[in-house]
Amino acid sequence: MAFAMPRAYDRAITVFSPEGRLFQVEYALETVNRGATVVGIRCVEGVVLGAEEIMESELQDPEFTWKLYQVDEHVGAAVVGLGSDARVLIDRARISAQSNRLLYDEPIDIEIIAKRIGDLKQLYTQHAGVRPFGASLVIGGVDNTGSRLYMTDPSGSYRSYKAVAVGKGRETAEPILIKEYREDMTLEEAIKLAVKCLIKAIEARGEKPRLRIAVIPKETKKYRMLSEEEVERYIKEVSG
């Protein structure tokens, strides 16, 4: 039986290779793996989302954030990979959250958002003329079931996590999470753990840390981005 040349499978998103692989999806996953590090941690008191943000120019506005987004009052997301792709997915997530409020007069469950984003990503792995989304979303929040944390990848799959790290610093951050994560952590402890993971991931590359941290406390169920002063204080505490 004759097969097409190996690289032909690189060009066709809808064709499996003889080994059962979709190369375009794997390339999208590699884009995510090379992106800036993001972490998510859930605890009994809420959810923490953190990201490293790389300044591409000294003239760039330091107040502008492109890694952490508020999806709804009780939901946030950290993105890694192509920012333009991620922005489209964030908009879809926001539409789902608002539609749920209009239809059912209640906040959307975190898993439903993760599933809908996963469904959209999956569509872009099986149709000609499109390419997979080159982004992963770490979606966290507090709903009626408690603190929830999910990660979606370019293939369309999504999984629930207690703590997760994605991006080029994953190999540094994940062992720290495995070693130090506890299910009974306070929100304060979870913030410090997220900061520690990001700092170690950045320092491993010999770069200066620049972090963004957002929290969704279980008490208020309100997304809040920490100020630069608060983040600097946590960096000093963790580094000291």
For this structure, is 37 an active site residue?
A: yes
Residue 52: name the closest of 167, 179, 223 by CA: 167
Give residue 9's pLDDT: 66
Which residues, in sequence order, are bridge partners of residue 39? 50, 165
* Tokens matching residue 128: 């000609």
Predicted confidence (pLDDT) per residue in 130-189, tens digit: 899 999 999 999 999 999 999 999 999 999 999 999 999 999 999 999 999 999 999 999
Give residue 104's pLDDT: 96
The pLDDT of residue 36 is above 70: yes
Asked if 38 and 177 count as a contact pair (C-beta separation under 8 A), the reply is: no
Cα separation values, 28 from 22, 61, 133, 174, 206, Å: 10, 28, 7, 21, 26
Residues 6+ apart with CB under 8 A from 87: none
Domains of the chain: 16-51+64-239 (3.60.20.10)
Rounded to the nearest integer, the mean pLDDT of the chain is 92
Predicted confidence (pLDDT) per residue in 44-102, tens digit: 999 999 999 887 788 888 778 889 999 999 999 999 999 999 999 999 999 999 999 99
Amino acid at 224: R
pTM of the model: 0.93
Residue of 14, 31, 37, 65 with catalytic role: 37
Q: Average pLDDT, stretch 196-217? A: 90
